[in-house]
Chains A and B, each alone.
Chain A
Amino acid sequence: MSKRTDRELVDAAREGDSEAFGVLMRRHQKRIYRLALHLLRDSAEAEDATQETFVRAYGALDRFDGRSEAFTWIYRIAVNLSLNVLRARKPSRKAFSSDDPRLEGVLIETRAGSASPLGDTENRELGRALCEGMDSLSDTLRATLILVGVDGLSHAQAGEVLGCPEGTVAWRVHEARKKLKAFLVERGLIVRGEEGAA
């Protein structure tokens, strides 16, 4: 049996085929979890948000009009739910902690022209700096950068998720990179003279 497309699975789920929705969920749950993890920076909350995303998507299947990809539609629900969680958080909660789940499993860092090995400590330091830099961005810029930079969505797909034109996505990614670089310059991780090259 050939692999069914997302659209076919959604159509089947609308007809009451819960197994089809299970296939759709297993196909996309990793990406949704990764998105929620980067937005929420908390494994438990990301797990809850992922589950809630699929439950809400199932409840809204009749309202999926098919004008966008099914996974971008689910992404949009995930972003909305994650933002709701962030807004409900206590403001005193620390944005970044040393046991940030995003830093788990940092093993490999690529670097051209390096003559000396980079150990785990340096990799973790890079990851930590990037996480802190991303946390310093606004929700809008951070979500856009995560969708495009981390999750690898195209600008068109990110535009579908965020409900904005591709040009806006491109501008947000550019702004996010610029601010991220300024953050790293401020931390002394890159030299100041390179700031304009971003």
Chain B
Amino acid sequence: MSERRSSPDWGQNLEAALGSFPFPERDWEKDALAVEARLPQAGPTEAALLGAPLPSEPGEPNAPLSATATPVTHSGVRPQSLADMARRSVERKQGSEREMARESLALAAKRPSAVEVQALREVMNNKLAAAPPNAALVNAGAASNAHAARGVRVQGGAAQVPTRAKAPWSQVGLAAAGVALAAGVLFWLRQPGPMPPASTSESVLSSAQKTTAAAARANSVAPSAGQPNAAQAAAAQASAPTGVNPDTLPESEPAPRAHDKAVAGNAHAPAPSAPASGPRPAKIELEDEPERPLASAVPGRIDAAVPQALLADPALRPADSTGGAVPAKPSSGAVQAALGAVMSGARHCVAAEGAPSSALVVFGSDGRVQSVSVSGSAAGKPSGECIQAQLARARVQPFAASSFSVSATVRPD
């Protein structure tokens, strides 16, 4: 032990040394019988022996629950355990995400301001004055699409407008609006993330169709310049929707996302209001964060995505934790078991020798013995070769290091 040890394997050496501390065998049955003989005279046990045995260490983060406390649950998990703390932390995070989603929905469902409505009206008027009636239809349909796709439910006021025979342009407008909607929905569906509830998609789609149809009907009713108010009324109704109470919506309703996709699909439409074209609230950007696992950053190498400071210190791992991967080195228990299985045969080899011999067993990374060097009384003798043959049968599980050496003493039987 005078030799200095290198830092990477110090912790594991200590772990192995502690875990394989010597344990002299005894006559356990004799001990058990001695105890059984004393049991009939066993008196009452002091309560102090059943209490928590040790005082707190100075600087300890958590004081003991109480001097006589016993574990609270069957599983031994206490309310202040790390597992509970982690669970509460996750619950808090989920709660804040839920709150953030509600805020995002509220922003998305915010009623347009009077200025925005006025601006839309001016645009519509200009279009109606300058363009043929069917262009106004397309614009009105696109504008109402933009609002409908935001998840805004439009009440059926436009449905009261009487209808006439459909013009071919109105059918083109309807088709364009439908294609834009489909493109938006398709684009949105291709994005990674959870599917929204079916009822949400349907409500968005149906309200969009309803609004488009209402605008189309209004336009077809008032094709002449003398009656522009019907289309304006439909557009106004579409641009001044009833607000949505976020508390009445499902918690996972992805209204902001649907809004984005629909706006992308209707890129040719004029911006109806500032909220649709303005910067999105920063909180909406966090929507997908929990869905990205760390491991996906670099496939197959989670440690590359995690800051080094956050990785657990290998020296602090529990003694039996292997994490399911190939260990750097075989555990001391595995090595002891492997050598113990062949040691009796090796002892037979030196039965005729008076003194013990030492053997250095080198395992390869595949778990097989690469070489056995025998020193001591059996070295250079047939008994040494016998030891080599016996110990070479030892096997451990494969490990990452190139080799692993173990020194063992072979004593005569």
Given A51-B35, A79-B53, A109-B407, the answer on whether A177 and B22 have CB atoms closer than 8 Å is: no
Query: Could you tell me if B62 and A164 are in contact, using CB atoms closer than 8 angstroms?
Result: yes
Complex interface: stretch among B39-47, B94-102, B216-224, B278-286: B39-47
Q: Known: A29-B28, A165-B65, A189-B5. Contact between A112 and B71, CB under 8 A?
A: no
Interface size class of B (residues with CB under 8 A): 35 or more
Check A171–B61 contact: CB distance below 8 A.
yes
B70–A112 touching, CB < 8 Å: no
Q: Report yes or no: B407 in contact with A119, Cβ–Cβ below 8 A.
A: yes
**Contact: B45 with A108, CB < 8 Å?**
no
Verify A117–B373 contact, CB threshold 8 A. Answer: yes
Cβ contacts under 8 Å, B315 to chain A: 177, 197-198
Chain A 122-157 interface residues, beta-carbon cutoff 8 Å to B: 122-123, 125-127, 129-130, 138-141, 143-145, 148-150, 152, 154-157
**A80–B10 contact, CB under 8 A?**
no
Chain B residue at minimum C-beta to C-beta distance from A69:
B76
* B310-352 contacts to A (CB < 8 Å): 315-316, 318-320, 328-329, 332, 335-336, 339
Q: How far is the CB of B164 from the nearest CB of chain A, in Å?
A: 76
User: What's the nearest-Cβ distance from chain B to residue A38, in Å?
Assistant: 7
CB distance from A81 to the nearest CB of B (A): 7
Report the minimum CB–CB distance from B293 to chain A (whole Å).
Answer: 26
Measured between beta carbons, the chain B residues less than 8 angstroms from A76 are: 50, 52-53
Known A139-B54, A164-B62, A197-B7; contact A113-B403, beta-carbon cutoff 8 A: yes
Q: Give how many A-B residue pairs fall within 8 Å (CB-CB).
A: 285
From B36, B336, B360, give the contact of A18 (CB < 8 A).
B36
Contact of A68 with B70 in the complex, beta carbons under 8 Å: yes
Contact A26 B42 (CB under 8 A): no
* CA gap between A156 and B16 in the complex, in Å: 21
A65 and B70 in contact, given A83-B53, A166-B78 (Cβ under 8 angstroms): yes
Q: Chain B contacts of A54 at CB under 8 A?
A: 35, 39
**A150 touching B18, Cβ below 8 Å:** yes
Q: Is B26 an interface residue (CB 8 A)?
A: yes
Asked whether, in the complex, the Cβ of A152 is within 8 Å of the Cβ of B19, the reply is yes
Collect the chain B residues with CB atoms within 8 Å of residue A80's CB. 48-51, 53
- Is there contact, CB below 8 Å, between A164 and B65? yes
Collect the chain A residues with CB atoms within 8 Å of residue B247's CB.
none
Q: Are B54 and A33 in contact (CB under 8 A)?
A: no
What string of 1s and 0s marks CB contacts (under 8 Å) between A17-35 and chain B? 0100110011001100110
A159 and B78 form a contact (CB under 8 A): yes
A122: B residues at CB distance < 8 A: 1-3
B288 contacts chain A at the CB level, 8 A cutoff: no
Which chain B residues border A83 with CB–CB below 8 Å? 53-54
- Residues of B9-35 whose CB lies within 8 A of A: 9-24, 26, 28-29, 31-32, 34-35
Q: With A77-B49, A148-B319, A160-B71 given, is the CB distance from A113 to B57 under 8 Å?
A: no
B74 A67 Cβ-Cβ under 8 A: yes
Q: What CA separation (Å) do A111 and B53 show in the bound complex?
A: 36
A110 within 8 Å of B (CB atoms)? yes
Give per-residue flags for B228-272: 1 if the beta carbon is below 8 A from chain A beta carbons, else 0. 000000000000000000000000000000000000000000000
User: Given that A117-B360, A174-B316 are contacting pairs, would A59 and B70 also be in contact in the complex, using a CB cutoff of 8 Å?
Assistant: no
* Smallest Cβ-Cβ distance to A47: which chain B residue: B31
* A residues near B54, Cβ cutoff 8 Å: 79, 83, 139-140, 143-144, 162
Complex interface: chain B residues within 8 A of A159 (CB): 71, 76, 78, 81
Cross-chain contact B19 with A171 (CB below 8 angstroms)? no
- Judge if B55 is at the interface, Cβ distance under 8 Å: yes
Complex CA distance for A198 and B31, rounded to whole angstroms: 40
Asked whether any CB of chain A lies closer than 8 Å to the CB of B225, the reply is: no
Q: Using Cβ atoms and an 8 Å threshold, which residues of chain B touch A88?
A: none
Please report the C-alpha to C-alpha distance between residue A114 and residue B9 in the assembled complex, in whole angstroms.
Answer: 11
Confirm or deny: B375 has a beta carbon within 8 angstroms of a beta carbon on chain A.
Answer: yes
- A4 part of interface (Cβ distance < 8 Å): no
| A37 CB, min distance to chain B CBs, angstroms | 8
How many angstroms between the C-alpha atoms of A69 and B74 in the bound complex?
Answer: 8
Q: Which B residue's beta carbon lies closest to that of A18?
A: B39
Kindly state whether residue A182 has any CB partner on chain B within 8 Å: no
> In the complex, which residues 380-409 of chain B have their Cβ closer than 8 Å to any Cβ of chain A?
401, 403-409
Chain B residues with CB under 8 Å of A95's CB are: none
Q: Are A113 and B9 CB-contacts (below 8 A) given A29-B32, A30-B28, A150-B21? A: yes
A102 touches B22 (CB 8 A): yes
CA distance A193 to B7 in the complex (A): 9
- Residues of B within 8 Å of A116, CB to CB, are 360
Q: Is the CB of B19 within 8 A of A149?
A: yes
Q: How far is the CA of A25 from the CA of B38 in the complex (A)?
A: 13
Instruction: A122 to B230: give the CA distance in the assembly, Å.
Output: 99
Some 22 contacts from A to B, beta carbons below 8 A apart, are A29-B28, A38-B21, A54-B39, A73-B50, A80-B53, A102-B21, A108-B20, A108-B408, A108-B409, A110-B329, A111-B13, A114-B407, A117-B359, A130-B14, A149-B18, A150-B21, A159-B76, A163-B68, A165-B78, A168-B64, A175-B57, A189-B1
A interface vs B, CB < 8 Å?
18, 21-22, 25-26, 29-30, 33-34, 37-38, 43, 47, 50-51, 54-60, 63, 65, 67-69, 72-73, 76-77, 79-81, 83, 101-120, 122-123, 125-127, 129-130, 138-141, 143-145, 148-150, 152, 154-157, 159-168, 170-175, 177, 180-181, 188-191, 193-194, 197-198
Per CB-CB distance, the 4 closest pairs between chain A and chain B, nearest first, are: A163-B52, A125-B1, A60-B45, A117-B360
